[in-house]
Structure 1
Amino acid sequence: MKKLIINADDFGYSRAVNYGIVDAHTEGILTSTTLMTNMPAAEQAFKLGKQHKTLGIGVHLTLTCGRPLLDTHHTLVDAKGDFKKNAQYQQKFHIDPDELYKEWKAQIEKFLSSGLVPTHLDSHHHVNNLEPMLPVFKDLAQEYNLPVRNNFEQDKDDNLITTDYFQYEPDILLADNDKIIKHFGDAETVEIMCHPAYIDKALMGGSTYVTPRLEELDALTDARIKEKFLGDTRFQLITYGDLSREGSLQ
């Protein structure tokens, strides 16, 4: 049996993103999401999370979007105090790991202060798997005893909980079930990343990935897609909260 976590990134980005993610869960096959605690719609996302208790919600650690929660940084921000853009981290760069630890810890603590219990950790734009950021990410995962997205090479000594496989592209959901089974091979637990959303001004002005989110929302709530997974006993839809340590390490 393939245990699938279908996870939407960017909960909290904007109201339209929030509503799209909730609809993908209540009307479709989305099981999980991760929340950007530094973004303007985070408070609304907290409220929606409390209303939809079957939706697994983790922390989407942020370094490349919006403003940090702390105002004491100088290596993570631009002259206006905003986080530097993703392109900043594509070539040679410098960050203070202590600044990063304090900021990401503040983001986790803000999540906890909402009263919600996080299911796992991942990061916006996958910055957690960059060499200077990865040790900080691992330390926080261990400190809070949280599962992580399987988007970096792990050592068994890390003792991290994760899935057997991570699927970057959600298009696989449209494939024939037999092809999906073959694609995931021996993996028993799989996360499929997606970005469903409605569109509002905040998303249009802030993201380079906009219209495809509507297509993903449509696929996740399509009646045929729902039947394809819910009607096939070879699949089980789960959240990160359902993972156990046994058999979860790479």
Structure 2
Amino acid sequence: MKLMIRADDLGYSRGVNYGIYDSVKQGVINNVGVMVNMPDTQHGVNLLKDLDVCFGQHTNICVGKPLSDPSKIPSLVQENGEFKPSSAYRNATEDFVDLDEVILEIEAQYERYKQLMGKEPEYFEGHAVVSDNFLKGLEIVAKRHGLKYFGFAFDDKPIIVNDNQVFIHMEAMDASYDPFAMIKRIAENPSENAFDLVVFHPGYLDANILEKSSLTIPRTQEVKLATSDRLVKYMQTHDIKLYTFDDL
């Protein structure tokens, strides 16, 4: 089967950075999404920059501060100048994101990504927010710069990237989450003529992540699995091959 494993949230916190580093250096992760607007982004990039990783822009509009002028993107920010949290999007009855404003911020994050990494993102997607205008903005900016855009999946439908079908699997918010059991289920029923993408958020827990994120314990479970001999042996015995976004 064609398996991709992506680690999101590099830069979220130092604990997350170290968890992703271990998951790459000692584990099976080879795709990493960078949150370019966070205080710990440079720390994370410094940890991973010399490793063989496919890096992407994990565009973020719900944690931390924007890179564009807050006064120019009022639909995205709170009175303190920080992004509106993900709960604001979950509780909204209509899309409050202004398309022109979100494009301004997406462009700012794209420019920061190039400054940080010294190259274009190898893929381009968004973090934890379902907003039609956010998705439109991502697609517009990706098309403008010729980037490999990876959208959101709905109703178990695949995402199409360069004529490749990609099925997304992410179960970390489930109460009984077991990352190894998830991968076993995928391996037992792989998608035909398609890629299966497992989205992980590996990390260790620190004060920042505990204060800002609702996703905590599963991050540590994913580090444990990604760095385990158990997973490597399972992949070998079941002929599971790992791919990156460069293969799409």
Q: TM-score, normalised by structure 1?
A: 0.85
Checking the alignment, whether the CA contact within 8 Å between 2:68 and 2:108 is kept in structure 1 is yes
Checking the alignment, whether the CA contact within 8 Å between 2:95 and 2:131 is kept in structure 1 is no
Identity of aligned residues (%): 28
Q: Given the superposition, is the C-alpha separation of residues 175 and 95 from structure 1 closer, same or farther in structure 2, using an over 3 Å criterion?
A: closer
Checking the alignment, whether the CA contact within 8 Å between 1:39 and 1:67 is kept in structure 2 is yes
Which residue of 2 is the match for residue 247 of structure 1? none
Q: Does 1:112 align with 2:118?
A: no
The answer to which of 206-215 and 35-44 deviates more is 206-215
CA deviations over 1:52-98 (Å, ceiling 9, x no partner): 1x111101111111010011321110100010011222322422211
Which residue of 2 is the match for residue 75 of structure 1? 75
Which residue of 2 is the match for residue 223 of structure 1? 229
Deviation for aligned residue 1:232: 3.8
Checking the alignment, whether the CA contact within 8 Å between 1:169 and 1:192 is kept in structure 2 is no
Deviation for aligned residue 1:160: 4.6
Q: Does 1:201 align with 2:202?
A: no
Deviation for aligned residue 1:190: 1.8
Residues 137-148 of structure 1 aligned to structure 2 (within 5 Å): 137-148=138-149
Which residue of 1 is the match for residue 60 of structure 2? 62
**Aligned residue pairs, count:** 234
The answer to which of 180-189 and 132-141 deviates more is 180-189
Q: Which residues of structure 2 form unaligned runs of 5+? A: none
CA distance in 1 between partners of 2:183 and 2:210 (Å): 34
Which residue of 2 is the match for residue 166 of structure 1? 168
Checking the alignment, whether the CA contact within 8 Å between 1:150 and 1:164 is kept in structure 2 is no
Tell me which amino acid in the other structure corresponds to 1:56: C
Q: Does 1:235 align with 2:240?
A: yes
Tell me which amino acid in the other structure corresponds to 2:83: F
CA distance in 2 between partners of 1:190 and 1:216 (Å): 17
Deviation for aligned residue 1:107: 0.5
Correspondence for 1:121 among 116, 121, 124: 124
CA deviations over 1:80-135 (Å, ceiling 9, x no partner): 0010011222322422211100101110111111214411112111x2x5322222
CA deviations over 1:126-182 (Å, ceiling 9, x no partner): x2x5322222111122223233335236xxxx9854652111126675239774334
Instruction: Report the RMSD for the aligned CA atoms in angstroms.
Output: 2.3
Checking the alignment, whether the CA contact within 8 Å between 2:165 and 2:195 is kept in structure 1 is yes
The answer to which of 182-191 and 28-37 deviates more is 182-191
Q: Does 1:94 align with 2:96?
A: yes
CA distance in 1 between partners of 2:59 and 2:39 (Å): 15
SS state of the match for residue 132, structure 1? helix
Tell me which amino acid in the other structure corresponds to 2:78: D
CA distance in 2 between partners of 1:212 and 1:194 (Å): 9
The answer to which of 8-17 and 162-171 deviates more is 162-171
Checking the alignment, whether the CA contact within 8 Å between 2:179 and 2:221 is kept in structure 1 is no
Q: Does 1:189 align with 2:210?
A: no
SS state of the match for residue 153, structure 2? coil
SS state of the match for residue 44, structure 1? helix
CA distance in 1 between partners of 2:6 and 2:132 (Å): 24
Q: Given the superposition, is the C-alpha separation of residues 12 and 4 from structure 1 closer, same or farther in structure 2, using an over 3 Å criterion?
A: same
CA distance in 2 between partners of 1:195 and 1:159 (Å): 23
SS state of the match for residue 32, structure 2? strand
CA distance in 1 between partners of 2:63 and 2:138 (Å): 17
Q: TM-score, normalised by structure 2?
A: 0.85
SS state of the match for residue 34, structure 1? strand
Which residue of 2 is the match for residue 38 of structure 1? 37
